[in-house]
A and B are shown apart, each in its own frame.
Chain A
Amino acid sequence: MNTVVLIPGRRSLRYAGFVDSGETCTGTIRGFRWQGPRAALDEVRTIVQAMGLLDDAPSVVVHGLFGGEEFPAPVSLGKDALLRLERVARQSPLHVASLIETALAVEQVFPGAPARLAFETSFFVDLPLRERTYAVSPDLSHKLALRRWGYHGLFHESAAREAARRLRKRGLDCPPRILSICLDAQPEIAAVLGCRPITVTSGATPLEGLPGETNSGEIDPAVALALAGEAGLGPEGANALLVGESGLSGLVGRRVRLDDVLTSTRNDCVRAREVLLYRMLLASGAAAAALGGVDAVVFSGRYVSCSAVVAHDVLPHLERAGALAPQAAQWMIFAKPLEGVLAETASLQ
């Protein structure tokens, strides 16, 4: 089966073409926002057509960051899906707006092709109540749809499934306790029992959780309010500062990537690396505590090549605390890129 995978971003559209499960082409159309998704998708269509992917009606999979409780699983693209997307738009205005726009363009550029939307948040819809609930009035939580989410569900789910498969092969006959560490621009750690998430570091928005490339991560809400109020930045200015100019880049003092910080020998990266690894240790310990021990540690994400740095720093602490089962010290790597994970989604329909 042929599959075209689309990952819309702010200024670019990542795409990949698959024949059966093999990737045949991959790339990025830049200037996505300036040209509009339609123009970028036309370009993708030309490319995949040249690769022969359109000869056998392909499936199209579109990546969505946020689908809320409306989308507990991937869904076929159509009128109903678009209406449901509009319903969740206020929970994630920026991303859902761009997804709607891309989805509409997909219907025009690939008419008749079975298209699906796959969301990062779907995996976390069934997060246990105790984990997803904030300690605020239930009425308010319900009204504003306040709850915890994870934003790398596709990686966590696929990586945990792969880890579980390997553990079963090794003879584990109970639901495995998996520590899933996603190394991406906004890193995220989840505890997974069998195939169900138990904890996750992110929150109602990606602001909560581990420090990211530009995102402060967990911060006292009073700081955000002081920035918006006393410092006179307003919500928009405070947001720009906390999600766009903080995190690892804020600590280093220049724009850096996660892999720069984890592998660089430059002195200006030391403090950022220490902060990140310490936060990862605490989050891993919390996940291990929630699971009652860890049978496997699995790394995934765009910067999975930096797994060793994190593993060597974090896992010995967990081992000394008795949180790792003997085999878990042999951590695993789930190296499949997001495009490949999404292509699998098409084969599951």
Chain B
Amino acid sequence: MYDLLKGKLEGLQSELMSFAQALLRTHSLSRDESSAAALVEKQLRALDFDTVTTDKLGNVVGVLHGVEDGPNLLLASHMDTVAPADESGWPGTPWSGRVENGKLYGLGAADCKGGLAAQVFAAGLLKRSLLPLRGNLIVAATVAEENGISIGMRGLIEFTLKEMGLRPEYAILGEPTDLGLYYGHDGRAELDIRLRSNNPFHLADAADLVANGMGDTDPLSAVQAMLMGKPQFEDRHGLRCATIGVEHRLGPEEAVDGMVGRMRREAERLAQLAGAVEVEVSVREHSETLASGMVMKVKRVTHAWSTDPFSPLLSRARQSLAAAGCVVRPGKWRLSRLGMGTSGSVLSNEFHIPTIGYGPGREEEAHSQDESVEVAKIVECTYGTAAMAHGLVGIPVFGWIPDEI
């Protein structure tokens, strides 16, 4: 079977790379993904998916139907990218999609358009191989992952797939794992520390103490634990107010309420050193308008998540990859910089869908200048994802000799 997949992939390779390149040449900042969505939809149709649709949020969904109602496997990658920090730092433009020395360059190459291309073509590869599926294989290109705390994914599971009668039993994200099998990462919360006082001098001192006194982190740690913003001052209802934005890592089992309480106590302790200042700490909330025009309220918390490394999903994924001759390397995302994350939190914590990541990009490349992904890894990821997908929802080929008998 794996020879068959390899053979078919060879035939699909140039189409795969053209698609990956086209994705990188298409602007798709968060909440402005419609051009990329159109491209994905066109490719899913070209690969002859059984069902192709773009939902109200702007997510694109393609389904290969199995001969039974389940299990359902979701292959998901986000289409959106962050804005380039400094366009002048890119040779050419961030949307060049150039290939150099075996690498494909462009904004979102690693995070995660390379993964998206691999997932679309992994399903296409199974389709071309005519291998029958038992359950349904769902490929989703989601919106608003980068800036919207995965609201695209939330809507996909809660509304779109539900309406289609599909409830994924497993999910694989195309986020950058450098072809490792990743099964979780820490979370993060964005908080606002609000200080109020009728004495502007007290308030200024308190804001200074809180902003500098709470921002201490271990300078030697490779993993960023907390990021304090600068105080923003305003007058409200006759009171002087300051707001300090904080981004804080959330470890496994760490509840956001507990962290809010700890932050409030610490902020109060520091603020009191300056005088009479009221302190309030809360999780940041705001509304996001999607490319489709839909408005969604967002609470900026991503909880840590982890899938049991001995769960059926990971066991079958490991076994399928090994049988296909791929490297099997389980691990977790490090998320060395704050502000990073995946929709695994939504899938795992909110919808209780066992989730793993398997993508061609390297985590360190995500959101970096001149972001790139190795071409060979996109191809390998396509093959590996197809092998795992077949292991999870395909009809087994046990007992059959691949050649003439």
With A11-B3, A34-B10 known as contacts, the answer to whether A243 contacts B401 (CB < 8 A) is yes
Q: Which of A203, A237, A238 has the most chain B CB within a 10 Å cutoff? A: A237
Q: Shortest CB–CB separation between residue B131 and chain A, in angstroms?
A: 6
With A232-B319, A236-B391 known as contacts, the answer to whether A97 contacts B132 (CB < 8 A) is yes
Question: A214 within 8 Å of B by Cβ?
Answer: yes
CA distance A228 to B323 in the complex (A): 11
**A231-284 interface (Cβ within 8 A of B):** 232-240, 242-244
Which of B77-85, B90-98, B251-259, B392-400 contacts the other chain?
Answer: B392-400
Assess whether B400 is in contact with A234, with CB atoms less than 8 Å apart: no
With A34-B7, A237-B323 known as contacts, the answer to whether A94 contacts B67 (CB < 8 A) is no
Assess whether A186 is in contact with B401, with CB atoms less than 8 Å apart: yes
Question: B164 within 8 Å of A by Cβ?
Answer: no
Assess whether B401 is in contact with A212, with CB atoms less than 8 Å apart: yes
Assess whether B405 is in contact with A151, with CB atoms less than 8 Å apart: yes
Question: B22 within 8 Å of A by Cβ?
Answer: no
Instruction: For A90, give its contact among B387, B395, B404 (CB under 8 Å).
Output: B395
Assess whether A236 is in contact with B319, with CB atoms less than 8 Å apart: yes
Question: B147 within 8 Å of A by Cβ?
Answer: no
Contact with A along B1-44 (1 / 0, CB 8 A): 10110011011000000000000000000000000000000000
CA distance A238 to B7 in the complex (A): 22
Q: Shortest CB–CB separation between residue A247 and chain B, in angstroms?
A: 10
Question: B322 within 8 Å of A by Cβ?
Answer: yes
Chain B hits for A34, CB < 8 A: 7, 10-11
Chain A hits for B369, CB < 8 A: none
Instruction: For A186, give its contact among B7, B134, B318, B405 (CB under 8 Å).
Output: B405
Q: How many residues of A contact B (CB 8 A)?
A: 46
Chain A hits for B8, CB < 8 A: 33
Assess whether B403 is in contact with A234, with CB atoms less than 8 Å apart: no
Q: Shortest CB–CB separation between residue B384 and chain A, in angstroms?
A: 13
Q: Shortest CB–CB separation between residue B96 and chain A, in angstroms?
A: 32
Chain B hits for A97, CB < 8 A: 4, 129-132
CA distance A65 to B130 in the complex (A): 16
Q: Shortest CB–CB separation between residue A256 and chain B, in angstroms?
A: 15
Assess whether A10 is in contact with B3, with CB atoms less than 8 Å apart: yes
Question: B296 within 8 Å of A by Cβ?
Answer: no
Assess whether B319 is in contact with A94, with CB atoms less than 8 Å apart: no
**B287-325 interface (Cβ within 8 A of A):** 315-316, 318-320, 322-324
Assess whether A90 is in contact with B67, with CB atoms less than 8 Å apart: yes
Question: B402 within 8 Å of A by Cβ?
Answer: yes
Contact with B along A210-240 (1 / 0, CB 8 A): 0010110000000010001000111111111
Assess whether B399 is in contact with A205, with CB atoms less than 8 Å apart: yes
| Chain B, interface residues (CB within 8 Å), range | 35 or more
Instruction: For B131, give its contact among A93, A205, A214, A233 (CB under 8 Å).
Output: A93
Q: Return the chain A residue nearest B10 by Cβ.
A: A34
Chain A hits for B387, CB < 8 A: 236
Q: Return the chain B residue nearest A184 by Cβ.
A: B405
Q: Return the chain B residue nearest A9 by Cβ.
A: B404
With A90-B67, A93-B400, A94-B397 known as contacts, the answer to whether A100 contacts B130 (CB < 8 A) is yes
Q: Return the chain B residue nearest A87 by Cβ.
A: B67
With A97-B129, A234-B319 known as contacts, the answer to whether A185 contacts B397 (CB < 8 A) is no
Assess whether A93 is in contact with B397, with CB atoms less than 8 Å apart: yes
Question: A95 within 8 Å of B by Cβ?
Answer: yes
Please report the number of residue pairs spanning A and B whose Cβ atoms sit closer than 8 angstroms: 123
Instruction: For B319, give its contact among A36, A92, A233 (CB under 8 Å).
Output: A233
Q: Shortest CB–CB separation between residue B23 and chain A, in angstroms?
A: 26
Q: Shortest CB–CB separation between residue A158 and chain B, in angstroms?
A: 17
Q: Return the chain A residue nearest B315 by Cβ.
A: A234
Chain A hits for B7, CB < 8 A: 11, 33-34
Chain A hits for B320, CB < 8 A: 234, 236
Question: A332 within 8 Å of B by Cβ?
Answer: no
Q: Shortest CB–CB separation between residue B103 and chain A, in angstroms?
A: 26
Instruction: For A235, give its contact among B11, B67, B319 (CB under 8 Å).
Output: B319
Question: A89 within 8 Å of B by Cβ?
Answer: yes
CA distance A186 to B404 in the complex (A): 9
CA distance A214 to B403 in the complex (A): 10
Question: A204 within 8 Å of B by Cβ?
Answer: yes
Question: A133 within 8 Å of B by Cβ?
Answer: no
CA distance A208 to B400 in the complex (A): 10
Question: A101 within 8 Å of B by Cβ?
Answer: yes
Question: A345 within 8 Å of B by Cβ?
Answer: no
Q: Return the chain B residue nearest A101 by Cβ.
A: B130
Assess whether B132 is in contact with A10, with CB atoms less than 8 Å apart: no
Question: A190 within 8 Å of B by Cβ?
Answer: no
Contact with B along A110-154 (1 / 0, CB 8 A): 000000000000000000000000000000000000000001100
Q: Shortest CB–CB separation between residue A239 and chain B, in angstroms?
A: 5
CA distance A184 to B316 in the complex (A): 34
Chain B hits for A98, CB < 8 A: 4, 130
Q: Return the chain B residue nearest A243 by Cβ.
A: B401
Q: Shortest CB–CB separation between residue A186 and chain B, in angstroms?
A: 4
Chain A hits for B1, CB < 8 A: 93-94, 236
Assess whether A240 is in contact with B401, with CB atoms less than 8 Å apart: no
Contact with B along A1-29 (1 / 0, CB 8 A): 00000010111000000000000000000
With A33-B7, A234-B316 known as contacts, the answer to whether A239 contacts B398 (CB < 8 A) is yes
**A73-95 interface (Cβ within 8 A of B):** 89-90, 92-95
**B354-392 interface (Cβ within 8 A of A):** 387, 391
Chain B hits for A240, CB < 8 A: 323
Assess whether B319 is in contact with A93, with CB atoms less than 8 Å apart: no
- Name 16 A/B residue pairs within 8 A (Cβ), A-sorted: A11-B3, A33-B4, A33-B7, A90-B134, A94-B4, A97-B132, A151-B405, A152-B405, A212-B401, A214-B401, A215-B401, A232-B319, A236-B323, A237-B322, A242-B399, A243-B402
Of all A-B residue pairs in the complex, the 8 with the closest CB atoms, nearest first, are A234-B319, A205-B399, A236-B323, A97-B130, A33-B7, A207-B399, A186-B405, A237-B323
With A186-B405, A236-B391, A239-B397 given, name 13 new contacts (CB 8 A): A90-B395, A94-B131, A94-B400, A98-B130, A184-B405, A207-B400, A214-B401, A215-B401, A224-B398, A234-B318, A235-B398, A236-B396, A244-B402
